[in-house]
């Protein structure tokens, strides 16, 4: 029987708890804010009064049998899946749990090279061996596109013993692969399909966007409601369909790494947000889409910028495009995306999602207004007028199939030595290096380091990109395999 999506079991239970004025002798230690007055001034009495721990009337995320279970069932229905699991460690925890639920030591997983670092971390935790498939590259705008059906097909044919197949839906830049055909291909070969939908919440609530993975029959997916849906940062959901992946295995795997002190603020925000999206999502995302189209059109009127969109669609490496990703190429004004990102933040008080060597990304979602978009457009015009230089060629991306010499897990736990980055050519990396955001590794544990990787990392450092992954915070040194 269809559920009532206006219900909010967890939120309702939290409100009832708050009304009862319970005297707490449990954690958290601030005791409804009384023990930390400055925190109350910052967050407010109401917030602190419902920052609580697990208890009978509020259920337990580790083994939900009450209001959390009811809220998760509503979430599953809203996202067209059989099951859902609340996440308080973000979709990064969801990606790790998905891979660890399916892949064990030595199992092969077919996975795009431009995955988020959480997927690489999951390979370390699970011991799975990556079979990388390359996204196509658009050298004119300097971005990775989607992975074609043919590339997945070739990888499956060459690795008939693969256990799972991983898909990104959509990429950071809004690129969507032909998910329906990829899922059909995986199913015909008995592979489990794992989908990273961190940026795809809105796909489930408006038909003007590409399809959500669970609607198309994916086995398991993880979605960041906080990114484009409106819940609190770090709140996400893992979705699964019955069949190849056991629900109990997912729950047990999640309990390996997810906090036993799950934030009720985060979980309640998921409950409230699910209600909003399930009951008003179509109208909300109609407005979001209209704002996105307006922003893209206005940006493209400014000399020197290119806000790319659906014109990239070729039904191969770009099967579809997510219009809420306002990706803007900046090379024609002679500036890197990193430089434009910094100018927007430092001089115009505008924070976009990220800047890379060639582009900036502004995400348009449920909280955006035309007024704020006009401020962004105005700032972009001003930057073009004040800072425009000679046009520069896009920086080519370093997305080639790396030489995976040992598994990420074996590399991570191997004996390592510390050497200068510029001297590491030919060595096997014991660490990851990535620009964050978006958090896509340039080199990962177990891969042989080459000159192109080093040049690209040095270029990003020189342009002011935030690099992470190594023990050395300045990325001057890297740990490689050896004593």
CA distance 52 to 21: 12
CA distance 204 to 228: 11
CA distance 196 to 169: 6
For the chain, give the number of residues.
Answer: 483
Report the pLDDT value the prediction gives residue 439, as an integer from 0 to 100: 74
- For residue 399, pLDDT beyond 60: no
* Fold of the 61-262 domain: 3.40.640
Q: Is 355 helix (H, G, I), strand (E, B) or coil?
A: strand
Dihedrals phi, psi of 91, to nearest 5 degrees? -70, -20
Report the pLDDT value the prediction gives residue 139, as an integer from 0 to 100: 87
Report the pLDDT value the prediction gives residue 483, as an integer from 0 to 100: 65
**Contact of 441 with 434, CB cutoff 8 Å:** yes
Q: Is domain 282-387 classified as CATH 3.90.1150.10?
A: yes
**Contact of 124 with 103, CB cutoff 8 Å:** no
CA distance 481 to 476: 17
- Residue 42, judged by CB atoms within 10 A of its CB (0-12, 13-18, 19+), counts as exposed
Report the pLDDT value the prediction gives residue 350, as an integer from 0 to 100: 98
- For residue 238, pLDDT beyond 70: yes
Identify the residue whose tokens are 């721990």: 53
DSSP track, 117-137: HHHHHHHHHH--EEEEEPPPE
Lowest mean pLDDT among 156-160, 283-287, 404-408: 404-408
Write out the CATH class of domain 408-481: alpha beta
**Contact of 200 with 342, CB cutoff 8 Å:** no
Mean pLDDT, the chain, integer: 94
Dihedrals phi, psi of 77, to nearest 5 degrees? -65, -40
- For residue 58, pLDDT beyond 70: yes
**Where are the chain's structural domains?**
61-262, 282-387, 408-481
Query: Which is more confident, 451 or 373?
Result: 373
Question: What pTM, to 2 d.p., does this model score?
Answer: 0.94
CA distance 148 to 133: 9
Report, as an integer, the average pLDDT of 395-414. 82
Kindly provide the b/e burial profile for residues 350-373, where b requires at least 16 CB atoms within 10 angstroms of the residue's own CB: bebbbbbbbbbbbbbbbebeeeeb
Percent of the chain with pLDDT strictly greater than 70:
99
- For residue 393, pLDDT beyond 80: no
Report, as an integer, the average pLDDT of 74-94. 97
- For residue 395, pLDDT beyond 80: no
Report the pLDDT value the prediction gives residue 465, as an integer from 0 to 100: 78
Band (466; pLDDT cuts 50, 70, 90): confident
- For residue 345, pLDDT beyond 70: yes
119 token code pair? 């997927």
Report the pLDDT value the prediction gives residue 461, as an integer from 0 to 100: 85
Strand-strand pairing, 236-240 and 220-223: antiparallel
Report, as an integer, the average pLDDT of 234-256. 97
428 token code pair? 């096997």
- For residue 438, pLDDT beyond 90: no
Give tens-digit pLDDT for 181-208: 999 999 999 999 999 999 999 999 999 9
Give tens-digit pLDDT for 103-154: 999 999 999 988 999 999 999 999 999 999 989 889 889 888 999 999 999 9
């Amino acid at each position: 029987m269809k559920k009532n999506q206006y219900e909010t079991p967890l939120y309702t239970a939290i409100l009832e708890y708050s009304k009862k004025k319970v005297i707490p002798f449990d954690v958290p230690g601030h005791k409804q804010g009384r023990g930390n007055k400055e925190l109350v001034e910052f967050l407010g009495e109401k917030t602190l009064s419902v920052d609580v721990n697990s208890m009978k009337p509020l259920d337990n995320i580790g083994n939900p049998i009450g209001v959390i279970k009811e809220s998760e069932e509503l979430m599953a229905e809203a996202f067209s899946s059989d099951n859902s699991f609340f996440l308080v460690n973000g979709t990064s925890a969801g990606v790790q749990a998905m891979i660890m639920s399916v892949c064990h030591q030595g199992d092969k997983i077919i996975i795009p090279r431009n995955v988020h670092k959480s997927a690489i971390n999951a390979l370390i935790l699970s011991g799975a061996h990556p079979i990388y498939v390359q996204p196509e590259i658009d050298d004119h705008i300097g971005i990775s596109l989607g992975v074609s059906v043919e590339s997945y097909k070739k990888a499956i044919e060459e690795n008939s013993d693969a256990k799972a197949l991983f898909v990104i839906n959509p990429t950071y830049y809004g690129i969507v692969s032909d998910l329906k055909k990829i899922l059909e291909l995986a199913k015909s070969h008995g592979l489990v399909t794992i989908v990273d939908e961190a940026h795809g919440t809105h796909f489930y609530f408006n038909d003007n966007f590409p399809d959500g993975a669970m609607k198309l029959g994916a086995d398991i997916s993880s979605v960041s409601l906080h990114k484009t849906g409106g819940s609190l940062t770090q709140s996400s959901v893992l979705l699964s369909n019955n069949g190849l992946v056991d629900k109990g295995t997912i729950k047990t795997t999640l309990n390996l790494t997810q906090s036993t002190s799950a934030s009720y603020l985060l979980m309640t925000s998921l409950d409230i947000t699910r209600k909003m999206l399930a009951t008003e999502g179509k109208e909300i995302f109609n407005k979001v889409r209209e704002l996105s189209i307006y922003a893209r059109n206005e940006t493209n009127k400014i000399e020197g910028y290119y806000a790319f969109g659906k014109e990239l669609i070729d039904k191969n490496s770009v099967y579809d495009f997510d219009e809420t990703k306002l990706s803007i190429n900046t090379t024609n004004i002679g500036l890197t995306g990193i430089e434009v990102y910094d100018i927007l933040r430092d001089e115009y008080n505008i924070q976009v999602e990220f800047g890379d060597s060639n582009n900036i990304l502004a995400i348009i979602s449920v909280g955006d207004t035309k007024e704020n978009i006009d401020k962004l457009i105005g700032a972009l015009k001003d930057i073009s007028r004040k800072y425009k230089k000679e046009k520069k060629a896009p920086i080519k991306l370093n997305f080639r199939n790396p030489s995976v010499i040992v598994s990420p897990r074996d590399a991570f736990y191997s004996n390592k030595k510390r050497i200068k980055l510029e001297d590491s050519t030919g060595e096997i990396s014991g660490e990851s290096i990535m620009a964050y955001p978006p958090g896509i590794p340039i080199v990962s544990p177990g891969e042989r380091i080459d000159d192109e990787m080093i040049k690209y990392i040095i270029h990003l450092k020189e342009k002011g990109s935030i690099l992470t992954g190594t023990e050395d915070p300045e990325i001057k040194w890297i740990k490689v395999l050896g004593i």
